[in-house]
């Protein structure tokens, strides 16, 4: 999914939470986890290619994850490890933020909101992968370091 889709979905999630009394800080953390988590695509692109271009990083990401909709769903089990270009989306990263929230004292509500935002982002990406599956075996276009 693209950032505008994640922003819309996170906003729809945030409205009832706002009405239930969530603070601006918690809603901000939810948005950070639900939308800004995609910064890992750019950071990984820089790490693997050495190229600081946001435009080329966006093109790389689009070519790596987009495929035409075939009219059929392609359900698959989610990866539980760390993907090379989606480190912050990984189950270990999300579990780490949840674990940190239990140890965070007064920051627990904020970190748990961040973790729930990450979970919603990951779920949306997984469902989008059923509709627009990534290339076989998580293959990626070359960044020049392969």
What is the tens place of the pLDDT at every residue in 50-61? 999 989 888 887
10: Cβ contacts below 8 Å, ≥ 6 apart: 30, 31, 34, 35, 117, 120, 121
Residue 145 lies in a domain: no
Residue 50 lies in a domain: yes
The parent domain of residue 32 ranges over 3-138
Q: For the chain, how many structural domains are there in total?
A: 1
In this structure, is residue 144 part of a structural domain?
Answer: no
Which pTM does this prediction carry?
0.78
Amino acid 139: pLDDT: 47
d(CA 38, CA 31): 11
Q: Is residue 98 part of a domain?
A: yes
The answer to whether residue 143 sits within a structural domain is no
pLDDT at residue 137, rounded to an integer: 46
Is residue 17 assigned to a domain?
A: yes
Task: Determine, yes or no, domain membership for 16.
Answer: yes
Is the pLDDT at 97 greater than 80? The verdict is yes
The answer to the question of residue 13 being in a domain is yes
- Average pLDDT value for the chain: 83
Q: Is the pLDDT of residue 132 over 90?
A: no
Distance CA 54, CA 58 (A): 6
């Amino acid at each position: 999914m693209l950032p505008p889709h994640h922003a819309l979905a996170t906003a729809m999630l945030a409205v009832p939470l706002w009405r239930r009394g969530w603070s601006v800080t918690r809603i901000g953390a939810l948005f950070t986890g639900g939308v800004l988590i995609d910064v890992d695509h750019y950071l990984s692109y820089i790490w693997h290619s050495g190229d600081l271009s946001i435009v080329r990083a966006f093109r790389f990401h689009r070519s790596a994850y987009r495929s035409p909709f075939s009219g059929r769903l392609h359900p698959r089990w989610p990866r539980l490890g760390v993907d090379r270009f989606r480190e912050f989306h990984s189950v270990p990263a999300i579990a780490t933020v949840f674990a940190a929230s239990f140890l965070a004292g007064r920051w627990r509500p904020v970190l748990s909101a961040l973790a729930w935002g990450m979970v919603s982002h990951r779920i949306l990406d997984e469902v989008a992968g059923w509709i627009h599956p990534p290339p076989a075996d998580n293959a990626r276009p070359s960044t020049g370091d392969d």
